[in-house]
Amino acid sequence: MATSVVHWERREDSGWQKYDDAATAAIKAAEGAGQGSVQIVDRGTTCQLVFAQEGPKQVNPITGYRRNARRIVNPIGSNPGQAAVQWEWFDGNNWEAYPPEISVRVEAAREAGEAECDFTTLYGQDFRIEFGVDAWQTINGKQQPVRKVTTTLSPPPSAPAPTPPAGGFLSNIAGMVLRRSARLAGLAPGAQVPGTSANAPPAGPSSPSTSSAKEPEDEDEAPLSAVDFPMDGSVHPSLLRTIKNPDDEDCVVCYESLRDKPAVRLMLCKHEYHLECIKKCFAQKPKCPTCMRAYGVRTGNQPENGTLTVKTYTYEQAKHACVALEGHEGSGVIVINYSFPHGVQGPNHPNPGTHYSGTNRVAYLVDDAQGREVLALLRTAFKRRLTFTVGRSQTTGRDNQVVWSGIHHKTHPYGGAAQHGYPDETYHARVKAELAEFGVTA
């Protein structure tokens, strides 16, 4: 009978990296016990792994710096070190692995040449994975990218593998994946979601249906006034509610009980904090510290003398101008030109009063509905001065340069993702997720 090996990873600048055995064991134990967080030691630094609604986060309690973390389940065959197929879905921020039982069925359907793998009957709601040039997960009409990856499996640990939760596809992990997908698909609160039923077991600790993400109860909340929460208009008090009787859980900012001090619930994501703690967090960045949901209009320090211009090409015009996008034959092209002259750094730049070097950048989008949607978001980001900043160029190593601020653009019409070009099937989803991190969603 097939078993599985579970390991945990953290997101580094260079990619996903595995935790060591001690940290992994601590995380697994906390997850199994239903804890909301656990203390681990990562490369000599004591950190907190928080089981957040939008996915696990590693938190440095000294600096407050957060890294994404994830749980990976790899099916094991007879030979450790063999290649294993794993299917993943993109949740708007990260690629998330399906549980082994889902991956196995999806791979079997694809190998059989079927057009889709349909779980609708099993879960009682529309849940399908469709195959084609690209693979897509559809839950109640909402589509998200899906991909197949091949990994080399590590030998199983000396300790026996844990017994998988009872219920097959209705395991806690499967329920977590489907509940997260259903939430992103916009299901109404209280609606039955794929992977759950009246007789299903309660959600596991990494499920978004934990107490920190509970639906608000009117009798437990009270409006917050501008006097209680003065943020110079950047975060409206109506986005928070005071909690009269908070649960006996820790505030993930200060790690003290929510009952010790006045507490509030953020109304867009339902996470709870001490009032004074969230004030300090929002003063630095108007985002939920747990899920990074934006709660205000974020602006950057992009130089004010830049311009954004757009030109569109039909496919024939794009071919003549040598800007046709690889993998999108027949499609028109949107060309974005950013231009910044030289200038002097202001008070919000690294070296106020020092001259900086300007730049000219070109970016490309497919001229279709998705491309035009991304263009509108990029225009908003530019107006909010979020697209560029002043700093060190990663290309030349020079300081005092106008550089990208972290919203990725396609700067070549060809060469694939490795060359910041096309084709790249998940670019639209990734850049929208990045823009959402900057608070740009419409």
The residue whose two tokens read 């569109």 is 312
Tell me the angle at which helices 100-111 and 172-184 cross, rounded to the nearest 10 degrees. 70
143: its two tokens: 């589509």
- The per-residue pLDDT for 203 is 34
Give CA–CA dist 101/219, Å, rounded.
41
- The per-residue pLDDT for 404 is 93
3-state secondary structure of 124: coil
- The per-residue pLDDT for 237 is 64
Domain ranges for the chain = 3-184, 212-284, 307-437
Do 3-184 and 212-284 agree at the fold level?
no
Angstrom CA distances, 67 to 42, 56, 135, stand at 12, 9, 28
Sheet holding 142-152, edge to edge: 95-97, 83-90, 142-152, 135-139, 127-130, 116-118
The residue whose two tokens read 């908003």 is 380
HSE-up (13 A, CA, CB side) for residue 264: 21
**212-284, CATH topology level:** Herpes Virus-1 (3.30.40)
The residue whose two tokens read 């070549």 is 412
Sheet holding 57-59, edge to edge: 15-18, 3-12, 66-76, 57-59, 45-50, 37-42
- The per-residue pLDDT for 15 is 65
Q: What is the pLDDT along the chain (442 residues), one digit of tens a residue?
A: 344 456 788 877 656 788 888 888 888 888 777 777 888 987 777 888 887 655 688 887 766 677 888 877 554 443 444 446 778 877 666 677 777 667 777 887 777 777 888 877 655 567 788 887 678 888 766 777 888 887 654 444 443 333 333 333 333 334 445 544 444 444 433 344 333 333 333 333 333 333 333 343 445 556 555 445 555 445 666 678 888 888 778 888 887 888 888 898 888 788 889 988 888 888 777 778 887 777 777 788 999 999 999 999 999 999 999 999 999 999 999 999 999 999 999 988 989 999 999 999 999 999 999 999 999 999 999 998 999 999 988 778 889 999 998 899 999 999 998 889 999 999 999 999 888 877 787 7
Nearest Cα to Cα of residue 40 among 54, 29, 32: 29
Q: What is the pTM of this model?
A: 0.43
- The per-residue pLDDT for 171 is 35
Angstrom CA distances, 3 to 73, 151, 156, 165, stand at 10, 16, 10, 12
Contacts of 373 by beta carbon, 8 Å cutoff, 6+ apart: 428, 432
Q: At 231, give phi and psi (nearest 5°).
A: -125, 30
CATH number, span 3-184: 3.30.720.50
CATH of 307-437, one of 3.40.50.2000, 3.30.390.130, 3.30.1540.10, 3.10.180.10: 3.30.390.130
Nearest Cα to Cα of residue 74 among 102, 99, 49, 39: 99
- The per-residue pLDDT for 354 is 94
Give CA–CA dist 170/226, Å, rounded.
45
157 in Cβ contact with 76 (< 8 Å): no
